[in-house]
Structure 1
Amino acid sequence: MNLFLDAIRWILAPAQWTGTYALPTLLAQHLLYTVASVLVAALIAVPAGWLIGHTGRGREVAVAISGAARAIPSFGLLILLVLLFGVLQVPAAGLVTFVLLAIPSLLAGAYTGIEAIEPRVIDAARAMGMTPWQVFWKVEFPLGLPLLVGGLRAGTLQVIATVTIAGWVNLGGLGFPIIQGIQLNRFDQVLAGALLVAVLALIVDLLFAIAQRAAVPAGVRAAGGGRTETEARPRALRPART
């Protein structure tokens, strides 16, 4: 309990809110790396996932790539890319690392969202005279959106966790107090940094949970009695983390 109170005191100390490594600055860095990498990963993975789910082609390859990417240790990948890019390109190496780790969840969420739709629903839309583009945007996209948001949720949390270890290569973020605290044997500082990362992850997870719930079409939610098949499937279909 004393260590926990010491960690809270460390967070609230005025010295932690000013200067180059002030907590607001570190939080901004953490969020910047997270948002930038997830956006880049989404631009790559979401269209590819939609194409796989719509055509049914390449699913095995996508699953294999996603599994292989998840099997790679985050810290090892970060250090490897830093060595390959060079010490002058550490931010770029970090961004590539975060993007690679976010892609599997986004890819899985995109193609499972399309695959989870009942074929008879697609057939009914086509029977009404909808074009393929209309079928996608008016039927497949809204029905698959909850699973896509679920993949985005998992990918974002993965990146938030990985950005924490980026402090080892001087990228800043909320992992910096943890790394510095380990080197200085300041366990109150280590716990404080861990608490900050945990709170950030919980807040982001809560926001995505609300968004995932809101993404379920109102008609589907009403027909499913408040819990739809789409909402029930994400955990079963989402690849397990390593």
Structure 2
Amino acid sequence: MLRPNLNERHRRILKFVVESHVMRAEPVGSQYVRMAYHLSISPATIRSAMKRLEEEGFLDHPHTSAGRVPTERGYRYYVDSLMEPEPVAPATRRALNKELARSAATLDEVQRLAARVLAKSSGQLAVVAVWPWGEPHSGVRIGGAENIAAQPEFQTADRLRALVTLLAEPEPLTRALDTFMDSGGARVTIGRELGEGAMEACSLIGTGIASTRFRGSLGVLGPVRMPYPRLLSLVSYIGERLAELP
């Protein structure tokens, strides 16, 4: 698919709207963008750019608000073309290394440890699946269900019911996680890229794992409104550390 040809102003404003929406979980207005990012252009100019981005399918305009929210297309463009890397901070690395150094003699213990550490450090739902080379898939370990249930996007009865069903019957999540197994690095699947049903309101950030004694994948599932730069680095780092386990 060809990437749309956005000019620099539209790219900057889309980036600002996405990052503001991730942080605030509410529609973003032109005045907020201007003040938060210290822009010298007028709110009217920003509104014009946001209107164009809406016409191109990158933003949506909720009927109950004057602000805009990013669409799945807007988030995809942000992930592919706009976001800046956010390496795992040294203090976080040290804390993760300490947690992951805990004894995990069996693969079930590895899965439990990884799911707990990933859920705690990401603030999202963690999903881990590892199994010995040459043996069949042994299913997934899930951690941090309370994290995703607390997100504003899952406060409606329908969304919460779909989430509960997914956690009780995680086969679609297992299949989605398996697609990262040979990914060669952390990557993102957004919204309806995950298929129809319970996960279409979510994004999944995942990576493959291959150690001397096991293989598999791990990831975080959350709303489409996620801090992608931080979580991509975090998922990648934890995957690399797990692959080094003896």
| TM-score (normalised: structure 2) | 0.23
| TM-score (normalised: structure 1) | 0.24
Write 1 or 2 for the structure with the bigger share of strand. 2
Larger relative contact order (Cα-Cα within 8 Å, sequence gap ≥ 6): 1
Structure showing greater Rg? 1
